[in-house]
Structure formats: structure tokens, C-alpha cells
């Protein structure tokens, strides 16, 4: 008998809080949809808590840690009452408010998953909230007017694992669990490629959103790299410095494209007959590379008003064209490698 709560959470609510991810989820093979969709909802709720700037970072951190504990099986500590009082009422987007109010039912659905899926969901949500905790502990209150930068590239690399690379591991584990025999490559190799896949997407976000993040006090471009170019985090607040900072952008773009090459290998390791699984990988790669293509041509990339974002119509174009690409290794490789070469040619 269908579960109406599960159907609502993984249908209308998921669509409301993430239209692009919802498209990816719908194309996934059926067995993978519930654990991946539920993990997304729980992580999105945690992210909503972490980003609610109208309450202090200390309050957000306490709620975040409490949610993590509940996901991992802790008993009720009044989290939902505190969340309703402190966070839900602050949400402008009604879908975000409904999401926070639906955490109890979401945890009920988590309890109904198989033991293996429940363990995997708990692990990935815990790691993702580690990344959110890192943000709250590392950067100043958005309202303080202060700004802080990460110290070293390794710190940025670790951060991209916490907030995205771990999803590649989780996605890979779900594939082996729910589609046994589909992947012929060793699980450790695919997990490593999956981590690089996630890092590629997060580095794209970091570079695209740099101007916006700086204005809430967060500089993900490491200070050690800024020092090499005689720059400070505050220099990045001036859009006119976009060209001055371009050498650092190019350095980070090269690292990001190396991650995307691993994402290509990940996708090609999926058999051509698994079209749905391939499409779920192909879409974010193509959208990510098209984002980097806009970024490399953007002479005002530090201006938050001129962010390099792929238009919705272009997303639909990518989705439509990829239906012909997915069954062919040669066409998939050509589509991705051509984009990478075109970006590199404009460095």
C-alpha cells in the first residue's frame, strides 16, 4: 500500500525545494530514489538552519548539532519545538518552512528504510552537516561586517569533500547496493572518482558564488593562494579587481577541470544500457562545465550582480540534447572533453 507521507516528501516537497535535483532524482532507477531523495531533504533542512542569518551562528549551530543527533537516532530533545520558534517562522520561501515542519515525518521515513540504506543516509547527512558546522565555526556572523578566508588549499579541498565529495561516495554506494552488477569497476575506484565528481560541482559553486559569499563574510579562496598574488580577501570585494584576480581564478579552474575529468571517467564506467543512471551524472557535468565556460569569459566575475549562471532554458536544452548522447561512450566523451578544451583555450 502506498505511503502518502513518503510520497509527499519525495514528490511535491522535494520538487518545491529543489527543482533541478528533482529532475535528476526522477530519472534515477527506482530503488535509488528513496534513500537519495531522503538524504537530500534532510541535508537541505540542515542547510536551511545553517543559513538562517536572522538568528545567531551559535543558535544555528546548536540546532544543527541537535538535528544531526536526531538523524543518528537520538531521542526527542525538543528540537522541533525550538526549530518552529527560532527558524521556521523566519523562512520567506513557504517550501522551506514546510520542509522544516516535515522533519518529524522525514525521520519516520528514515526509520522505515532498510538497515543498510538507513546507515548510509545517516553517514552522508552527518558528513554534510560537518561541512555546515565548519562554515559556522570558521566564518564570522554575516551581520558583523567582518570577513575571513580559508588558510590553505588543503582546507578548501577538505571542505569540498564535506559538502559535496561525500555525496559522490554515497551515490556510488547506493548504485552498488540497488543495482548490483551494473558497475564493473572496483568499488574503491568508483568511490574515489565519485568524491572527485562531487568536488568538481562544489568548486564550480565556490567560484561562481564568490562575490555573493564574500558579502556574507566568507572567502573560500585560500589566503595562502591570495598571498602569492599580493591579494587580501577584502580586495575581492571590489568587482573592478576581477581581472587582477584572474590568475588565481585560472589556477582554481585548472584544479576544477581535473575533477571534471574524473567525473567523466565515473560516467563512462556506467554501462551504456544504464541510460537513466548515465543521465543523472551527465546533466550536472554539462551544466557545471557550461557554468565554468560563462565564468571564464566573465570580466566581472567578482560582482554578485553579474554571476555566471546557466539560464533555465539552457538547462532544458542540455537535458534534451543529452538524451541522444547518453547511450554512446564516444558522444559522451566528446561532449565533455570539447567543453573542457574550450574552457582551457580561453585561459
Which of 21-35, 51-65, 207-221, 314-328 is least confident?
Answer: 21-35
The verdict on 253 and 217 lying in the same domain is yes
The verdict on 252 and 332 lying in the same domain is yes
The verdict on 327 and 283 lying in the same domain is yes
Whether the pLDDT of residue 92 is over 70: the answer is no
- What is the mean predicted confidence (pLDDT) over 50-72? 92
Look at the chain and count its residues.
Answer: 347
The verdict on 76 and 213 lying in the same domain is no
The verdict on 189 and 326 lying in the same domain is yes
3-state secondary structure of 149: strand
Query: 267 pLDDT band (50/70/90 cuts)?
Result: very high
Q: Give me the long-range contacts of 22-26 (CB less than 8 A, separation at least 24).
A: 23/283, 23/319, 24/280, 24/283, 24/284
DSSP 142: T
The verdict on 94 and 173 lying in the same domain is no
96: domain CATH number? 1.10.600.10
Last residue of a domain, one of 114, 138, 162: 138
Whether the pLDDT of residue 257 is over 90: the answer is yes
Last residue of a domain, one of 91, 122, 138: 138
Domain encompassing residue 107: 1-138
Whether the pLDDT of residue 2 is over 80: the answer is no
Domain count, the chain: 2
The verdict on 43 and 160 lying in the same domain is no
- Given a contact cutoff of 8 angstroms between Cβ atoms, the answer to whether 178 and 116 are in contact is no
DSSP for 323-340? HHHTT-HHHHHHHHHHHH
Last residue of a domain, one of 91, 108, 138: 138
Task: State percent of the chain over pLDDT 90.
Answer: 83
The verdict on 94 and 17 lying in the same domain is yes
The verdict on 170 and 200 lying in the same domain is yes
The verdict on 325 and 196 lying in the same domain is yes
3-state secondary structure of 219: strand
Give tens-digit pLDDT for 328-347: 999 999 999 999 999 999 99
Whether the pLDDT of residue 39 is over 60: the answer is yes
Q: Can you name the residues that pair with 218 across neighbouring β-strands? A: 148
Task: Name, in order, each residue with C-beta under 8 angstroms of 7's C-beta and a sequence gap of 6 or more.
Answer: none
Extract the C-alpha cell encoding 223: 589566503
Query: 1 pLDDT band (50/70/90 cuts)?
Result: very low
Give tens-digit pLDDT for 127-170: 999 999 999 999 999 999 999 999 999 999 999 999 999 999 99
The verdict on 60 and 86 lying in the same domain is yes
The verdict on 235 and 342 lying in the same domain is yes
Extract the C-alpha cell encoding 323: 538524451
Amino acid at each position: 500500500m502506498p505511503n502518502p507521507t513518503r510520497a509527499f516528501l519525495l514528490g511535491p516537497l522535494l520538487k518545491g525545494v529543489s527543482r533541478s535535483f528533482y529532475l535528476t532524482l526522477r530519472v534515477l532507477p527506482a530503488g535509488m530514489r528513496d534513500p537519495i531523495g531522503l538524504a537530500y531533504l534532510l541535508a537541505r533542512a540542515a542547510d536551511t538552519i545553517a543559513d538562517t542569518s536572522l538568528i545567531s551562528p551559535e543558535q544555528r549551530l546548536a540546532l544543527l548539532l541537535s538535528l544531526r543527533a536526531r538523524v543518528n537516532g537520538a531521542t526527542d530533545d525538543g528540537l522541533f519545538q525550538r526549530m518552529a520558534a527560532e527558524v521556521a517562522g523566519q523562512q520567506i520561501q513557504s517550501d522551506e518552512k514546510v520542509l522544516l515542519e516535515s522533519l518529524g515525518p522525514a525521520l519516520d521515513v528514515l526509520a522505515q528504510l532498510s538497515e543498510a540504506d538507513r546507515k548510509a543516509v545517516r553517514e552522508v547527512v552527518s558528513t554534510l552537516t560537518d561541512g555546515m558546522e565548519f562554515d559556522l565555526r570558521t566564518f564570522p556572523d554575516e551581520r558583523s561586517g567582518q570577513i575571513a578566508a580559508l588558510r590553505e588549499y588543503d582546507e578548501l579541498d577538505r571542505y569540498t569533500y564535506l559538502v559535496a565529495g561525500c555525496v559522490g561516495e554515497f551515490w556510488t554506494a547506493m548504485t552498488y547496493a540497488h543495482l548490483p552488477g551494473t558497475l564493473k569497476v572496483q568499488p574503491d575506484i568508483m568511490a574515489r572518482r565519485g568524491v572527485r565528481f562531487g568536488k568538481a560541482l562544489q568548486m564550480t559553486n565556490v567560484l561562481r558564488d564568490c562575490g555573493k559569499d564574500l558579502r556574507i563574510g566568507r572567502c573560500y579562496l585560500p589566503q595562502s593562494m591570495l598571498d602569492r598574488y599580493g591579494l587580501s580577501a577584502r580586495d575581492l570585494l571590489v568587482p573592478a579587481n576581477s581581472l587582477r584576480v584572474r590568475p588565481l581564478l585560472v589556477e582554481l579552474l585548472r584544479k576544477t577541470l581535473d575533477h571534471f575529468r574524473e567525473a567523466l571517467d565515473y560516467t563512462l564506467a556506467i554501462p551504456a544500457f544504464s541510460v537513466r543512471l548515465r543521465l543523472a551524472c551527465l546533466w550536472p557535468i554539462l551544466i557545471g562545465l557550461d557554468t565554468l565556460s560563462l565564468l571564464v569569459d566573465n570580466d566581472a566575475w567578482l560582482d554578485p550582480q553579474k554571476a555566471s549562471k546557466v539560464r533555465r532554458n539552457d538547462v532544458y536544452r542540455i537535458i534534451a540534447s543529452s538524451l541522444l548522447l547518453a547511450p554512446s561512450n564516444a558522444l559522451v566523451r566528446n561532449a565533455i572533453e570539447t567543453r573542457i578544451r574550450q574552457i582551457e583555450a580561453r585561459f
